[in-house]
Structure 1
Amino acid sequence: MFNQGLSLDQAPPISVPFRFFLSAPIFGVLISLIFLFSPFSQTSNQFHYVSIGIVHLFTLGILSMIIFGAMQQMMPVLAGAVIKKSKLFANIVHSSLVLGTLGLSFSFIFELKWLLHIGVLFLAIAFFTFFIVSIKLLFNVKYLTSTVKAMRLFALAGLITFILGLFLATSHITSNLNEKYLVFVNTHILFGLLGFAFLLIMGVSFQVIPMFYVALDFPKFIQHKLPIILFITLFISFFFFYFEINFLFLKLIFVVMILSFAYFALKSLNNRKRPVFDVTLWYWKFSLICLIISMIIWMFDIFESNYILAIIFAFGFLYSLLQGMVYKIIPFLSWFHLNSKGYFKIPTIREFIEEKYIKVHFFLHFFSILFFLISYYENKFVYIAGILFLFSNILFLINAIVAIKKYTNISKTDPMDFSSFK
């Protein structure tokens, strides 16, 4: 399953990914507060500055935060690409990402252009540091699995996404929104969601689903051909936007590729070799169902507004799946690091976070999405959605802290002290 055996020499200190995972739900709390204290006409309008701010709180503060944290763990373990001075690297990327996300997002929400300067500066530090190092390491990997290949494409797509975003931010700073501005906006969105986010999720799924759930492997074509075809199609899309060519055919290609992945992912999860109950499967399956629904909505332009599509794709697909992954990664890393240090009496992976609280979180998350969707028709329900989303993120944070606290308490004891686990 892994290129090399798991070892603490390869894996970064456990504090490296954990700081990113703990930060994500805090940005979720901020998003919920903006939904609660801003008019629905602003939060649901994709062109309004408040909506743009929310989008970037999610894509930078939640999506990028979890991905950056997970990648610093997965690159050494899944690809054998070890980050030197991993603590320094994490400190630079994490602090810059937090400050940059707050600066850029609040510059739109409160319409303060000076914050945009600060946001762009820190995001440039975070993204260039992360992607330059990642690209260098990943393209030096000798043993290429389907996951490593997808990681390479993810890193390139992420860098392109940021460069496009940097161009757009500079356009706002200089108030120079030329006639091709929307071309770069659409390309930025497409590379961000289908390149940066989806490519990595797809690539990691090739190893994570069979490993964590003892499930079927994906077909070889899906593993080795689909990511590169998707990446090439993303490049072609820019020319469709630039020369104003009808996008319908290209959209169909995207939808077919994404639905193919969703189908085989669900097939793998539904045909596990050891069908033991695992609450994180709820997150994965719900996420993939939301992905399918969002692709149907996108393909046929079912709704005049993109609000419903955004909620289902961002909160339903992306955030659900990322939460499910974090609920697997934190307990696994806690167990792995303690086991590697010689502790004998430690919780099992499933004992670091009580399943009943993960279930409660799932239902809070599910119903928050449901009420966000209902609010499209009855705007007042956005307040129920906002409150549910608030409590969902608070519980997500608490669950993560509980697991990390268990790890911390045990790691402070003598490995041979059998009273360390109570």
Structure 2
Amino acid sequence: MQRTLSLEQSPPLGAVLRFFLATPLFALLAAALLLWQGAPALASRWSPATLALTHLLTLGTLGMTMAGALIQILPVVAGVALPRARILAPGVHALLAGGTAALCCAFLFTQPWLFGLALVLLLPGFAWLIGALTVALWQMPPPGAIPMTATVRLALGSLIVTVTLGALMAWAFAWPARAAPLPLMLVTDLHALWGVFGWGGLLLAGVSFQVVPMFQVTPLYDKPLPQVLGVAIFLLLVLWSVSATALRARLPWIDTLASALVLGAYGIFALATLRLLARRKRAQADAMTLFWRLAMASMLACAALWALPAGVAGDGRSLAMGVLMLVGFLYSTINGMLYKIVPFLVWRELQERAAEGQRAPAIKTLIRDEVAQRQFCLHAAALALLLAACWWPVLLARPAAVAMGLSAGWLLVNLSMALRRGYSAMVTSVSRTALGGNSVVR
């Protein structure tokens, strides 16, 4: 694995920080929506409130960080330049944020014109992002040189499938008279499949091949896993899609087999990651370690819940699996990574701006780990309440919303404090340097 980073290619701090700060903001919006709607938001995956809540989490909370992480990581890891990088980040951020808000309002209020507005904003935003990332990936060395490369390419392909299916449904809702008839339930299932297990899951796996050994000081992933996992999952998603569309009536067992193999592949990844985290060189677990352990445990719990008989799992199984994948697996990972990425980016920005005689504050002082670990405890409690609310929504939906909102708010405060502490330390350093210089002159 390549560990050398091309830090000189890193985009400006403001370019990517807007994406990372949007993550807890959208999580706060999701919590507010759940608090407002209560049990109806968890009653069925097809209810307007549930669809709005899901897209606040996927497009807002998860999508913003994933877009920002790629804009940040690809130039640094691969040493390539993104086209028109100075306007790429603010432009994509504005389009995706506005489109996400419009889409969620469209689901809540069932207004066709809002679906049209969401389509007008999201399609150009994703096209711009995908185009820029494709150009960057085209410049990369062969996939074998950087284990994450091939998997990120497949994740980007999955994003194209996800956006295409979502655009077809948004068009059907916005202009039903002009849209071709669509099997909406089937298209919705495939849209969720490629979005969660393709775009989100593959990107997480690809990035982890680089960041887990680097940030957690662990051994490298065993070579076969980075080389095989992404391709295997992508092909299994193709098989799952084909079985759902063409073979379900004739060979219903293929659908079950494909889903079992996809969950099994992610289970192998989760076990391999947990094994590396157990072998980390630092004895004491930090906040990122705890978040990643929770994420991998959530993935394994999702697979176990799928394997339970329907009579045992109950009516809340489908929603609970969604909670485990979105909040447990993907959001937990992102939350943990933000505690490493944001302080590092702030520290590096301050290092570049420091004048002679100035020193940027240590990375560990920007966000104290004990504070991050307390937010982890609240996040874990929110996840547990959300899971229980899938079976008892009337009793637990609003307590889960409160816990989720508090956790997201705490994350936002911690990230904001990293900026404040960094710049306050630099101002203090400038003042001391100026005073010292005056005393020498006198």
Equivalent in the alignment of 1:338: 350
Q: CA deviation at 1:46?
A: 0.2
- Alignment check: 8 A CA contact 2:6 2:75 kept: no
Q: CA deviation at 1:109?
A: 1.1
Deviations 1:88-116 (A, max 9, x none): 00111000011000001111012222111
Match of 2:365 among 351, 360, 371: 351
- Alignment check: 8 A CA contact 1:14 1:333 kept: yes
Q: TM-score with structure 2 length normalisation? A: 0.89
Equivalent in the alignment of 2:403: 388
SS state at 1:45 partner? coil
- Alignment check: 8 A CA contact 2:360 2:426 kept: no
Does structure 1 residue 253 correspond to structure 2 residue 261? yes
Equivalent in the alignment of 2:101: 102
Does structure 1 residue 146 correspond to structure 2 residue 147? yes
Equivalent in the alignment of 1:192: 195
User: What does 1:314-325 correspond to in 2, within 5 Å?
Assistant: 314-325=326-337
User: What does 1:153-302 correspond to in 2, within 5 Å?
Assistant: 153-175=154-176, 178=181, 180-243=183-246, 244=248, 245-246=251-252, 247-300=255-308, 302=313
SS state at 1:225 partner? helix
- Alignment check: 8 A CA contact 1:7 1:340 kept: no
- Alignment check: 8 A CA contact 1:3 1:79 kept: no
Equivalent in the alignment of 1:79: 78
Equivalent in the alignment of 1:401: 416
SS state at 1:226 partner? helix
Q: CA deviation at 1:320?
A: 0.9
- Alignment check: 8 A CA contact 1:78 1:148 kept: no
Gaps of 5+ in 1: none
Match of 2:375 among 334, 342, 361: 361
Gaps of 5+ in 2: 436-442
Change (3 A) 1:365 1:177: farther
- Alignment check: 8 A CA contact 2:22 2:64 kept: yes
Amino acid at match of 2:326: A
- Alignment check: 8 A CA contact 1:255 1:299 kept: no
Query: Aligned residues: percent identity?
Result: 25
Q: CA deviation at 1:358?
A: 1.1
**For the residues of structure 2 that align with 1:378 and 1:134, how far apart are their CA atoms?**
40
Change (3 A) 1:112 1:378: closer
Deviations 1:348-403 (A, max 9, x none): 22211122321221122111122222332262222211111111111111111111
- Alignment check: 8 A CA contact 1:3 1:80 kept: no
**For the residues of structure 1 that align with 2:284 and 2:395, how far apart are their CA atoms?**
41
Amino acid at match of 1:155: L
Q: CA deviation at 1:211?
A: 0.4
Change (3 A) 1:237 1:393: same
Structure label with greater radius of gyration: 2
**For the residues of structure 1 that align with 2:257 and 2:48, how far apart are their CA atoms?**
31
SS state at 1:390 partner? helix
Change (3 A) 1:276 1:307: same
Q: CA deviation at 1:137?
A: 1.4
User: What does 1:103-122 correspond to in 2, within 5 Å?
Assistant: 103-122=102-121
Amino acid at match of 2:257: F
Q: CA deviation at 1:346?
A: 2.3
- In the alignment of these two chains, the number of paired residues is 419
Q: CA deviation at 1:337?
A: 2.7
SS state at 2:46 partner? coil
Q: CA RMSD in A?
A: 2.2
Considering fraction of residues, name the structure with more helix.
2
Q: CA deviation at 1:254?
A: 0.6
Change (3 A) 1:419 1:112: farther
Q: TM-score with structure 1 length normalisation? A: 0.93
**For the residues of structure 2 that align with 1:303 and 1:401, how far apart are their CA atoms?**
41
Deviations 1:304-350 (A, max 9, x none): 33121122221111111100011110011122233344565222222
Does structure 1 residue 304 correspond to structure 2 residue 315? yes
